Amino acid sequence: MNAVQLDIAGLATAIDSYEVDYEHLPANLAVLNTHQPFAATYIKANISLVDAWGIPYSYSVLSNRYELRSAGPDRVLKTVDDIIWNENNTGKGVAGYRRQSAPQSEP
C-alpha cells in the first residue's frame, strides 16, 4: 500500500467509526479532526487530509454512502489517475481502491 492508500484507508475507518457513533456520516473530513464526545478525534495522527501531491482529499456523501478521492499525480479531481474509495468497492463505508476509468470513446 502506498501513502495515499494508507491515508484513504485511515480516513475511511474514521468515517465508519463516526457513523457508528452518530448514526450518520460526517458532513466533512474536518469534523473527524475535532474533539468529539465519543473520541478525542477520529483521525489517527499519521493520517493526512492532504494527498501525496499536496491536494486535499475529496469527500462526498452519496445517499447513505460516501466517496473519498485523491486527485492523483495530475493534481486534478475527476480525471483518469484519481485514486477512489467508493460504493463500487466492498464494504458499507466503501472499501478498496480503484483508478477512475478512462472515458470511453464513441464508435
Query: Looking at this protein, which amino acid is placed at residue 77?
Result: L
- List the pLDDT tens digit at each of the 107 positions of the chain: 588 888 998 898 889 888 888 888 999 999 998 877 766 778 888 889 999 999 999 999 877 788 899 999 999 998 888 888 865 554 433 344 444 444 444 44
In this structure, how many other beta carbons lie within 10 angstroms of the beta carbon of residue 97?
17
Phi-psi region of 34 (alpha: psi -120 to 50; beta: other; left: phi over 0): beta
Distance CA 58, CA 50 (A): 9
Q: What pLDDT, on the 0 to 100 scale, is given for residue 42?
A: 87
What is the rounded CA–CA span in Å between residue 28 and residue 84?
17
Give the model's pLDDT for residue 81: 87
pTM, two decimals, is 0.77
CB atoms inside a 10 Å sphere around CB 68: 22
For residue 97, what pLDDT is reported? 45
Q: 3-state class of 18 per DSSP? A: helix
The pLDDT value recorded for residue 89 is 54
Q: What is the pLDDT of residue 46?
A: 84
According to the model, what pLDDT value does residue 20 have? 87
